[in-house]
Structure 1
């Protein structure tokens, strides 16, 4: 049988990507590129958006609404405080450490208007994790929620932070509600541990002082800011593992919010949407999608401080009647378990988007059955600011895929030799576009590993159909090789989750003398009657022999990140812990 030379095959594959097959699946109303940006920086976008939408609701939390005009004014005052009172300079790093409260958009917009670089810190960080981020970033200032100030006290002396601003949950609520809320959080619920920090400034005092500086512009003159200037140091495990910060510029953020909005505009209307922001704004997905894109679209973002409080979240949904839901797959599954959620009227919902992690097929199906709407899945990573692709808004989504590349985004799937693979074949997902980061902070070698000739090598293995739909196969680093055969953990997890008695699943590979590696499954039962034998019998009908778990361990819960991803590296630590299940 004649064969096609490898170089010819590579050339054919290259030509396939150059023709951008996904464009054939685009709506006629969706342009292939986003065109020139209206605004060069986030500060310009904020000011321009607020002038346009004025007194319309921009953000709300705990029943209190901030208008676009108020967001602009408050962020102006915070910027003036940072520059005029603290004397900070362009490029100085400021840490923001808080959940979804009204202070976050005010602070992030103010810091970016001032030319500072924002370092988002997860409030759930341990003191050790905080120290690592603060020291690595060289931050000189921090705005922290009082609930976490005790951890800051433990590490502050080891960092370069010299300005500490402390805020409380209710600081931007009306006076009486503010006093009551802060009292309940601190005194009744005991959620604010004591700390011995001295020389701090309250957020409210900072804004008030900034207002005075703002009225005397010469004392808080803003620096000149360009699109190529750094806006964020966004910490991530990265495509190469290990903690590092992606350098995200103003231009990256401006581009990605426009790219993300392009397909959304086909279903939504400027200035008419109410959006649930259930992911934390310190996460790059919600920051770009909620805090920037839907904000720029004149939408009302409803900030959810604690999405795990299902009853409260359902109450918020009832009151606000949102048209757009932005959440993660695990939160969707949790809501589906609540009868009160299923009883809601979903007729006003236009769009449900799940970000931050892959959507389980069973969850997507159950969501449609319960709400009458599809749960759109996309794909992104911090290094791409973060959105790369999304399922179409103009037609039925292709469940199990991450959809089509966004406008102005190029994709190639490459083999081990770095050459493009043929459509339909698995290869490393590589991304090129205006949303791609400029590198990792102070990490030249890891930067060079993932940025090559303008392309971002994501470390994810994917396939692409003839019409451009992308399916993630798995992370390269999570690949399990059993006797020379590749096993992708996500495939085994998906099959396990399709069993009606399995609530959650996580898969890892462990060394094995005979086969190199074997597959280990950690499972959470949805039904206590589930047995190991029953699950093994099920796998025999669903998976090839080399893919079947040789060890099944039942646990009450699985370790997850703040956005609900199963942490496979943490699963390895559970191997020797006592629990139900054994090796085959």
Structure 2
């Protein structure tokens, strides 16, 4: 299956020297760089033409690297990888935390015409073994302590890669590539089963930036990014890799999921302007503000949220803390990044905004017919960066990408003003006593309690075979709620049960409420509802 080409730049003319002309020039250069050949070489050329060589590109710990340094290191690292046998078309698995080594290894792999396989270094050994086998990895570049997981394959530790790179000569060129040449593989989060390898191409990252980073977020060379979501995820890849390298801006690299206190410190130290995260991490950020100061967020101009729907009221609390708007969006690994999003110029809280330019969205009812505005349907999408298919899964590719439309398995509705509201997953509905119930409705009621930070509801069958709803809550007592609430489990369960009975029909009231330390989530922050149903995590 052939991947689609990058979306065309917007038509129209502008007066010479105008802001519109400058923006059109930047867009045209980015598109030309991407479509003209190998992504790594195109990015290096773009940085030189735009005068970004001496501008910071990445910050980690107390060190920064310029765009020029990054592209020089990548060129040298390409020779190191070639010396380890990497050839065009080979698969190079990157099991690395966010770091300069990750960026260097990815760009070096791209320069050689090989295909980067992006995996979460915190997965289990079994997951890593599956992905290495499924992708047919020829070389595995690993973070600390992971080398033995890939025994039997050619391996290279990240520290050794960087050490060898500093003494290696720059590569003399880059392997020819076009926008449809495969560039990298990312695996789906596995919320519904075994992760699937998703193919993306050399033309895709430039399109992510053109359509989202540039048009919707207005990323400029002066921006500084901090993304809680990591480089090995679709959302984090666009935020931390594509947008900075295509805009001449910089990003903060964090090798593990940052705590709220770490986010505070990094934003203040680096004067972060764009913060990207997921709802559960934003909830943790605002959970306890007793010893936190909003002044450290003074530099933030926008916060972006993806991964799951933002619970009612959370966006307002995040905006109050940051002093900046929260822009919700929705995307997928198959699309590479967002396909529906709010923007800095057009933000409708409580929605995921409008279709990203170049993408078409369609809502279909159970019969497969278009769903009218205001009516719930399953969300389908097509667009310029949609994957050409799943690795080694032709039948799954045909089923999920029938006719060029991706079946997202999200339930949504289109409002009268053209924005979209996501209502949950198609497999989120629960059957209780023969009646279909949306757990999101029950969760929204329980989340009103000031002591509840997170909640998940699912149907379970008891020993008699009868189905009933169970609720699992994570306590996160805010500084304002603490004086008025005695946070004992018995008090909380009684209070929540009373809240549910007051606002829900009797058959929607959970039979039991359990206080738990955490909910089962994928590494991208998505709820694993199938585990909630079993009460097993």
> 1:143: how far off?
1.1
Match of 1:369 in 2: 320
Point out the more displaced range, 307-316 or 112-121. Answer: 307-316
Whole-angstrom distance in 2 between the partners of 1:562 and 1:342? 28
Q: How does 1:146-545 map to 2 (within 5 A)?
A: 146=144, 148-149=145-146, 152-157=147-152, 161-162=153-154, 164-168=155-159, 202-208=160-166, 211-212=168-169, 214=171, 217=172, 222-237=174-189, 241-266=193-218, 268=219, 270-336=220-286, 337-339=288-290, 341-395=292-346, 397-483=347-433, 485-511=435-461, 517-526=467-476, 528-529=487-488, 530-545=491-506
- Go from structure 1 to structure 2 and tell me whether the alpha carbon gap of 1:474 and 1:486 turns closer, same or farther (over 3 Å shift): farther
Measured at CA, do residues 340 and 536 of structure 1 come closer, stay the same or move farther in structure 2, by a change above 3 Å? closer
The separation in 1 between residues aligned to 2:446 and 2:222, in whole angstroms, is: 41
Taking a change above 3 Å as real, the CA distance of residues 301 and 116 of structure 1, as seen in their structure-2 partners, is same
2:43 to 41, 46, 52: 46
User: What do the CA deviations read for 1:107-156 (whole angstroms, capped 9, x no partner)?
Assistant: 1111112111111111111111111111111001111112x32xx41452
Q: Match of 2:395, SS? A: helix
Single out whichever of 459-468 and 346-355 deviates more from structure 2.
Answer: 346-355
1:242 counterpart SS class: coil
Distance (whole Å) between structure 2 residues aligned to residue 341 and residue 100 of structure 1: 26
Is residue 78 from structure 1 mapped to residue 77 from structure 2 by the alignment? Answer: yes
Segment drifting more, 529-538 vs 461-470: 529-538
Cα distance in structure 1, aligned partners of 2:248 and 2:290: 32
CA deviation vs aligned residue, 1:18-63 (integer Å, no higher than 9, x gap): xxxxxxxxxxx999xx889322252244213321211000001001
Alignment partners' CA distance in 2, 1:294 and 1:154: 32
Aligned mates of 2:191, 2:203 — CA distance in 1: 22
Does the 8 A contact of 2:54 with 2:68 survive in 1? yes
RMSD: 2.6
**Alignment deviations for residues 328-376 of structure 1 (CA, whole Å, 9 cap, x no partner):** 2222222222545434243332111122332222321211222222221
CA contact (8 A) 2:452 2:473 kept: yes
Aligned residue number for residue 37 of structure 1? 31
Stretch moving more, 245-254 or 469-478: 245-254
**Shift in alpha-carbon separation, 1:340–1:353, aligned structure 2, 3 A:** farther
TM-score by length of 2: 0.86
Instruction: For residue 569 of structure 1, give the secondary structure of its aligned residue in structure 2.
Output: helix
How far 1:386 sits from its partner (Å)?
Answer: 2.2
- Secondary structure (helix, strand or coil) at the match of 1:37 reads helix
Distance in 2 between residues matched to 1:155 and 1:75, nearest whole Å: 24
3-state SS of paired residue (2:31): coil
Q: Is the 8 A contact 1:351 1:373 kept in 2?
A: yes
Alpha-carbon distance change, 206 to 383 in structure 1, aligned in 2, over 3 angstroms: same
2:13 maps to what in 1? none
Distance verdict in 2 for CA 1:375–1:213, change over 3 Å = closer
Q: Distance in 2 between matches of 1:279 and 1:205?
A: 27
**1:452/1:47 CA distance change after superposition, 3 Å:** same
Q: Which runs of 5+ in 2 are unaligned?
A: 1-19, 478-486
1:205 deviates by 3.7
| Shift, 1:245, TM fit | 0.7
Deviation, 1:538, is 0.6
Q: Which residue of 1 aligns with 2:91?
A: 93
1:516-549 CA-partner distances (Å, limit 9, x unpaired):
8533211123352443232122112333333332
Change (3 A) 1:311 1:259: same
Query: Which residue of 2 is the match for residue 60 of structure 1?
Result: 59
Distance in 1, matches of 2:39 and 2:512, equals 50
Larger CA deviation: 255-264 vs 50-59? 255-264
Q: What's the TM-score once normalised by structure 1's chain length? A: 0.79
2:217 & 2:304 partners in 1: Cα distance?
A: 14
Cα 1:510–1:574 change in 2 (3 A) is closer
Structure 2 counterpart SS, 1:66:
strand
**Unpaired stretches in structure 1, ≥5 consecutive residues:** 1-28, 169-201, 578-584
In structure 2, the residue matched to 1:142 is 140
Asked whether the 8 Å contact 2:283–2:453 carries over to 1, the reply is no
Superposed displacement of residue 406, structure 1: 0.5
Deviation at 1:383, TM superposition (A): 0.7
